[in-house]
Structure 1
Amino acid sequence: MIKLIATDLDGTVLGPDFKFRDRTLDALRAARAAGVEIVYVTGRPHRWLDPVREQLEYDSVAICSNGAVVYDVAREEVVQAETVPTDVILDLHSELRRFLPHAHYSTETLEGVVSEPGWPQTNLLETGKRTIGDLPDLLSEKSRIIKFLVRDDSMDPRALYDVVREAAEDKVSVTHAVANMPLAEIGQPGLSKGRTLSRWCAAEGIGPEEVLAFGDMPNDTTMLQWAGHGYAMASGWPDVIQAVGRTCPGFEEDGVAQVIEELLERD
């Protein structure tokens, strides 16, 4: 029996306009009415969730920033955060500048966003406080960093990911979450959507066999492999599809809705 649906947002249930498709909204509402809990598991920071809640009433938690933050949406409260020490980020920042002279850098902290001059907008939707300046000048030991971002528009996304991962070694986790964008996302060592979701589910008494999960990008892989019923979007990255081994139709075909509808019909 499925007790929980864990779903990525962008490219899975949300389009580039950050909107749900009508069929997907109907399916998610029907699942909730049937008693199935829904948890968003996203690479986005929690400051992005208001536009989602405006489209679909939502009172559960959301797992944000690739697993770094567990956020109670109803209470608008961070209930758990896994941060990275500032010195680790600044050391990596210094190292990467040697190899990536054209890259730009930004950090997500629990207090707001700190970006270097020239940091490009990564989405049509921007929310929250952003401070611009040199990272070594703006970050301190007290900065609660949940994500460090590296973007280099002169590089292929996979090539950038490989460079950052090699430089990071095992000091941090590195993933890629935005299709066709040369953007590497860095967090606490071992951090992943799958790790945080599994821990949260264990605390709630929910086993992997009771979880239905959806995603499309490399940062979704651990979640989809952990869930007993993990689906890679057919419109997602080929590596993710291969690693997961189970697919549903792509976003434009309302793939998530199709699977949920079949589940509710069986039950």
Structure 2
Amino acid sequence: MGDDVPADRPRERQRTISRRRAIQMGLLTMGAAGLAGCSGAADDGGTETATDTRTASATPTETATATPTATETATTTTPEFDTLAIQRGSIDVTDLSSLGAPTVPLEDFDAWLGDTGEGDIWLRWDEEQFYFAAAVQNSHFEKFIGTEKIVWDNDAFQVGMAPGAPTGASNFVELNFGDTFEGPILWHVMQPSDEASRSVTDIDMRVEHFPDDGEGRTEFAYAIPWSELGHEFDPAPGTRLSLTIAQHDRQAERGEHWRTYGGGMLGVKEPASLGTAEFTE
């Protein structure tokens, strides 16, 4: 599994994954915030299929919380992420071939769990819509475990965003996007309050896997109106926003791989820890 953490990873990260392993073994119960990529809604009735081994036991309880020592605190590091430049323009979700240089390559993501990946992510904006697209190398494509609000249990992307600089004063919009046996799902939820949890429909979106393209490739793309988001965004050149992108990649016997550009979504939902982006021409 991808739970083994290299010795040079921060100790704080090691504690998080150790707790995840304990949950998998049924030794601890899942906290209210849910597991790393989980929308909080998964704890209030969301179920996982029998093939998913991550369901926690309902009876054991966690009796103690580890307190980091001064040494642990001193050696813990937080990845630094550059501000992303989101170009004005649109994306045709049916064709990613002419998008040019990516907004950010997947190689620049932090491997929160498991290994790094290969691929490209593009973001665009105009006065009407926010656009997301990704093309990633993917030898194993998963779409049969998660549904709707737990679509992140499949191969999926999450985007967390809010107007202005990151702050802990309010919720951020979390968009969970992936394929299911019923087709692509874009699930909207406000975090960390777990409000406005719903599927966004009647928009342009596509998830398509190409198994014969080298070792396999998957494309993700959607365009969502600003009016569908839970915040009042005012897209204009020079305007900054809080933004984090996370990828969930299931690789069969190689386990799960969770990657993030920006913080605040994996582990605990923390609006103040989101990354930053800026609308550009």
Hey, which of these two has a bigger chunk of strand by percent? Answer: 2
TM-score band w.r.t. shorter chain? under 0.3
User: Please, what TM-score do these two structures have when normalized by structure 2?
Assistant: 0.22
User: Please, what TM-score do these two structures have when normalized by structure 1?
Assistant: 0.23
Q: Which has the higher contact order (CA 8 A, sep 6+)?
A: 2
